[in-house]
């Protein structure tokens, strides 16, 4: 048998000490997560590989399917269902990519620890990584969808709001942390209450309709909310400002002329760039705190995983 | 030497649900129903392992040895206490636990490597060795769902031992693969020992511990009852196993003790190829029938021989019994050997009595062959 290089075993006196104990501090949890990022990446890539395993077009499908969706919407809303909003498909898709990322990550992460109990009971790694890998896969599809949208905008010759573009990474980071927080907490809760998985499907549906994705916030519900003083309530949903930011960046126009009646339509809130910046930065700060809280909650819940799985 | 593993006051408590209230409806309707039981899998375990040591953890089923190992690997969190580890650790708790069936062997090597905590670069460096060790050159790009269970386990083992961890943790997985592959695994473990790496081995096979470990700890119902040299620890392990058997017998009357071995000639000395007669004295308080087991070990802990128990039936009367044992044509070479004596039940092979190192056997040999036994050999030149 060929022996590997018989280099003398290094002394471990200077090696860092790892501690296994009942409760790890938040700092250790974060350090462990960062240390095991390679695992996160390999879980994401293996998830994606499995998804497209055996299909002839492979990863190309991840681009083809949003492209076909976009083409379908384009056809439907510009030919059959004319709602008067010009280029409604751009408005719709800008919101939809944000929602898709959130929804696919949360719904897949909710059951991930239960589904991979075999792994959780046999291999040591920070368990949050399982939920985070689902979020990571959604991020990849999100990026692909943004590229598809960019290509589409190029084809139809619609320029995004260049001056607002710098808000995109901030808004995306807030979206990522928000999604990750909910995914991590839900994956742990499902271990104890298996019903949460089914409940989450319903909650997500409801959540979709309280977010301004398929309807225009300013045109459809803002006046009604203002009269009843419920605007603040509507904005409790952290998805709303993110979706509005994406729509502002890609759809650009806050007020358009209706293609059917010729009257002006208010599509998006006429916030200044400063307002958008403040809202997004505030949300990002909130999302950072939420993520840390999610890690703490997960840490509390993970202690009894093995007796529940 | 540096302590690479320090286990401090580790306890692990499990809550066992007898009726699982897992749906929301049940939790709301019967918030307190369903009995649960507290089970202490480990209580106040303390020990340290130095760099380069090979430690065996033995115990019967349910003694908490796997729980302890899982705590050390970080799969389970201890309820109290802490474990400090230096250096990276690869655990073979269940081979191939992290494999994705849809992916090829190649992809799984990388995935499993990253689960064990190694970077892609590190796996790149050892990839060819892993494939060579697992002997799966032709199947490495086949999805592992088409692998046989033996191939599966070989691949997982190959990854874990080739990432060159500072600490290797092995949980009764040496019983995998065919005999040749097992020998290869043992070989690799010995190589690890020569390199001064630390190994933790959990098993209930005393032979494996004797063959590989420098030191052993014995667990019994979550308590550590021994920590020391392998032979001492194994004696305690066997003693406890025996105690259990006696405890659990209906009526609790069957106590058999092996008082000792006596040789009529006065010494346990035999020439190579010669015969030896000795007597075993067994005392019991009621009639028992069982099979006598005689084990012969070298002083280095290698099992030379264990007889077929079914060929040595004995029926004991209450009181002291003398059983004659004849060894014919002893093929051993010069040296001192230890004899262990046991009595097992005819069915199920439960141990009724055991005596470790009941006698020392001295073998005299005039020839020049070395080793444990002599194999007749002649050379013919054509």
Question: What are φ and ψ of residue B278, in 5° steps?
Answer: -145, 165
CA–CA separation, A155 vs A153, rounded Å? Answer: 5
CB B327 within 8 A of CB B270: yes
Q: What is the pLDDT of residue B222?
A: 87
Mean pLDDT of A94-104: 93
CB B10 within 8 A of CB B190: no
Name residue, tokens 């309280």. A210
Q: What is the pLDDT of residue B35?
A: 65
Q: Is A272 within a domain?
A: yes
Dump pLDDT digits (tens) for B173-185: 656 566 777 777 7
Q: What percent of chain A has pLDDT over 70?
A: 95
Token pair belonging to B79: 């309820």
Q: Would the CB atoms of B97 and A49 count as touching at under 8 Å?
A: no
Task: Tell me if chain A has a CB within 8 Å of the CB of B34.
Answer: no
Token pair belonging to B269: 């000395």
Among A121, A132, A131, A133, CA closest to A304? A121
What are the distances in angstroms from CA B194 to CA B134, B166, B199, B228?
Answer: 22, 13, 11, 21
Is the per-residue pLDDT at A127 higher than 50?
yes
What is the average pLDDT value for chain B, to the nearest integer?
81
The helix-helix angle for A88-110 and A239-251 (nearest 10°) equals 140
Q: Is A61 within a domain?
A: yes
Boundaries of every domain in chain B: 3-234, 251-364
Give the least confident one: B1-15, B33-47, B107-121, B368-382.
B33-47
Q: What is the pTM of this model?
A: 0.76
- How many residue pairs from chains A and B have C-beta atoms closer than 8 A? 141
Query: ∠ CA A134-A211-A290 to the nearest 5 degrees?
Result: 50
CATH architecture, range B251-364: Distorted Sandwich (2.70)
The helix-helix angle for A60-75 and A128-156 (nearest 10°) equals 50
Q: Would the CB atoms of B78 and A119 count as touching at under 8 Å?
A: no
CB B202 within 8 A of CB B213: no
Which B residues, 78 through 137, put their C-beta within 8 Å of a C-beta on chain A? 78-87, 91, 93-94, 97-98, 100, 102-103, 107, 110-111, 114-120, 126, 129, 132
Is the per-residue pLDDT at B246 higher than 80?
no
Q: How far is B189 from chain A (nearest CA, A)?
A: 12
The range of the structural domain enclosing residue A238 comes to: 37-301
Task: Tell me if chain B has a CB within 8 Å of the CB of A271.
Answer: no
CA–CA separation, B77 vs B208, rounded Å? Answer: 28
Total of domains in chain A? 1
Q: Is A103 within a domain?
A: yes
B224: left (phi over 0), alpha (psi -120 to 50) or beta: beta
- Dihedral of alpha carbons A179, A185, A190, A195, sign: negative
Give the least confident one: A251-260, A281-290, B24-33, B365-374.
B24-33
Is the per-residue pLDDT at A2 higher than 60?
no
Strand partners, B40: B13
A303: nearest CA partner in chain B:
B77
CA–CA separation, A190 vs B263, rounded Å? Answer: 68
Strand partners, B284: B256, B319
What are the distances in angstroms from CA A191 to CA A103, A112, A135, B98?
Answer: 20, 9, 18, 19
Dump pLDDT digits (tens) for A215-261: 888 888 888 888 888 888 888 999 999 999 999 999 888 888 887 78
Q: Is A4 within a domain?
A: no
Using H for helix, E for strand and C for coil, what is the string for A201-234? HHHHHHHHHCCCCCCCHHHHHHHHHHHHCCHHHH
Among B215, B226, B263, CA closest to B360? B263
Please list every residue in chain A whose beta carbon sits closer than 8 Å to the beta carbon of residue B162.
Answer: 4
| ipTM (interface predicted TM) | 0.75
B37: nearest CA partner in chain A:
A307
Helices (H) and strands (E) in chain B, counts: 8, 18
Q: What is the pLDDT of residue B245?
A: 44
CATH architecture, range B3-234: 3-Layer(aba) Sandwich (3.40)
What Rg value do the Cα atoms of chain A yield, rounded?
A: 23
Dump pLDDT digits (tens) for A17-59: 777 777 778 888 898 888 888 889 988 988 888 888 777 777 7
Q: Band of the pLDDT at B160, cuts 50, 70, 90?
A: confident
What is the average pLDDT value for chain A, to the nearest integer?
87
CB B170 within 8 A of CB B92: yes
Dump pLDDT digits (tens) for A69-95: 888 888 888 777 777 788 888 898 899
CB B361 within 8 A of CB B339: yes
Strand partners, A287: none
Q: Do domains B3-234 and B251-364 have the same CATH topology?
A: no
Q: Is A5 within a domain?
A: no
Token pair belonging to B253: 């009357």
Q: Would the CB atoms of A20 and B196 count as touching at under 8 Å?
A: no
CA–CA separation, A256 vs A254, rounded Å? Answer: 7
Q: Is A108 within a domain?
A: yes
Name residue, tokens 């995983």. A305
What are the distances in angstroms from CA A107 to CA A49, A130, A141?
Answer: 19, 13, 15
| Greatest distance between any 2 Cα atoms in chain B | 91
CB B103 within 8 A of CB B122: no
Q: What is the pLDDT of residue B251?
A: 33
Token pair belonging to A178: 């928000």
CA–CA separation, A192 vs A1, rounded Å? Answer: 49
**DSSP symbol at B368:** S
B83: nearest CA partner in chain A:
A20
CB A29 within 8 A of CB A295: yes
B135: nearest CA partner in chain A:
A1
Helix (H) or strand (E) holding B276: strand B276-284
Task: Tell me if chain A has a CB within 8 Å of the CB of B293.
Answer: no
């Amino acid at each position: 048998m060929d022996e590997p290089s018989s280099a003398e075993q290094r002394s471990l006196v200077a090696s860092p000490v790892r501690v296994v104990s009942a409760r790890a501090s938040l700092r250790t949890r974060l350090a462990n997560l960062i240390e095991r990022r390679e695992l996160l990446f390999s879980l994401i890539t293996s998830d994606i590989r499995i998804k497209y395993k055996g299909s002839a077009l492979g990863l190309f499908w991840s681009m083809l399917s949003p492209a076909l969706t976009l083409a379908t919407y384009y056809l439907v809303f510009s030919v059959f269902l004319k709602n008067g909003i010009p280029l409604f498909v751009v408005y719709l898709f800008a919101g939809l990519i944000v929602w898709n990322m959130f929804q696919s990550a949360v719904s897949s992460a909710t059951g991930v620890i239960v589904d991979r109990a075999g792994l959780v009971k046999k291999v040591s790694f920070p368990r949050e990584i399982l939920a985070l890998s689902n979020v990571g896969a959604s991020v990849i599809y999100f990026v692909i969808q943004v590229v598809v949208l960019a290509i589409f905008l190029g084809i139809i010759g619609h320029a995004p709001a260049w001056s607002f573009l710098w808000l995109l990474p901030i808004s995306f980071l807030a979206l990522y942390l928000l999604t990750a927080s909910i995914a991590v907490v839900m994956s742990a809760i499902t271990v104890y209450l298996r019903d949460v998985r089914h409940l989450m499907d319903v909650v997500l549906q409801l959540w979709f309709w309280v977010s301004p994705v398929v309807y225009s916030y300013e045109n459809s519900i803002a006046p009604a909310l203002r009269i009843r003083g419920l605007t603040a309530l509507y904005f409790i949903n952290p998805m709303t400002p993110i979706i509005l930011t994406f729509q502002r960046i890609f759809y650009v126009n806050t007020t358009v002329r209706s293609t059917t009646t010729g009257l002006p339509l208010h599509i998006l809130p006429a916030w200044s760039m400063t307002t958008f910046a403040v809202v997004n930065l505030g949300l990002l700060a909130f999302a950072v705190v939420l993520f840390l809280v999610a890690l703490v909650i997960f840490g509390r819940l993970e202690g009894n995983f093995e007796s529940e799985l | 030497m540096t302590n690479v593993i320090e286990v401090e006051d580790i306890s692990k408590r499990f809550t066992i649900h007898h009726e699982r209230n897992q749906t929301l409806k049940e939790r709301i309707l019967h918030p307190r129903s369903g009995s649960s039981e507290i089970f202490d899998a480990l209580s106040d375990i303390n020990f340290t392992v130095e760099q380069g040591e090979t430690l065996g953890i033995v115990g019967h089923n349910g003694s908490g040895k796997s729980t302890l190992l899982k705590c050390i690997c970080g799969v389970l969190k201890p309820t109290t206490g802490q474990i400090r580890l230096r250096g990276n650790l690869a655990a073979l708790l269940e081979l191939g636990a992290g494999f994705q069936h849809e992916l090829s062997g190649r992809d799984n090597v990388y995935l499993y490597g990253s689960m064990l905590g190694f970077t892609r670069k590190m796996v790149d460096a050892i990839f060819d060795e892993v494939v060579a060790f697992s002997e799966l050159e032709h199947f490495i790009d086949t999805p592992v769902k088409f692998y046989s269970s033996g191939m599966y386990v070989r691949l997982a083992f190959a990854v874990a031992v080739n990432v060159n961890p500072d600490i290797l943790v092995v949980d009764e997985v040496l019983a995998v693969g065919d005999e040749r592959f097992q020998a290869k695994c043992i070989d690799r473990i010995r190589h690890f020992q020569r390199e001064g790496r630390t190994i933790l081995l959990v098993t209930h096979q005393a032979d494996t511990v004797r063959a590989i470990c420098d030191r052993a700890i014995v667990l019994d119902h979550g308590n550590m009852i021994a920590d020391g040299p392998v032979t001492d620890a194994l004696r305690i392990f066997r003693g406890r196993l025996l105690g259990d058997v006696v405890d659990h017998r209906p009526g609790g009357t069957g106590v058999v003790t092996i008082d000792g071995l006596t040789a009529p000639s006065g010494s346990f000395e035999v020439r190579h190829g010669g015969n030896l007669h000795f007597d075993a004295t067994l005392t019991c308080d009621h009639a028992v029938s069982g099979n006598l087991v005689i084990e012969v070990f070298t002083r280095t802990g290698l099992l030379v021989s264990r007889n077929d128990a079914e060929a040595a039936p004995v029926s004991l009367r209450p009181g002291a019994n003398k059983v004659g044992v004849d060894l014919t044509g002893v093929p051993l070479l010069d040296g001192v050997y230890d004899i262990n004596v046991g009595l097992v039940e005819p069915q199920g092979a439960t141990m009724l009595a055991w005596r470790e190192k009941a006698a020392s056997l001295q073998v005299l040999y005039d020839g020049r062959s070395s080793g444990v036994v002599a194999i007749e050999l002649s050379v013919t030149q054509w």
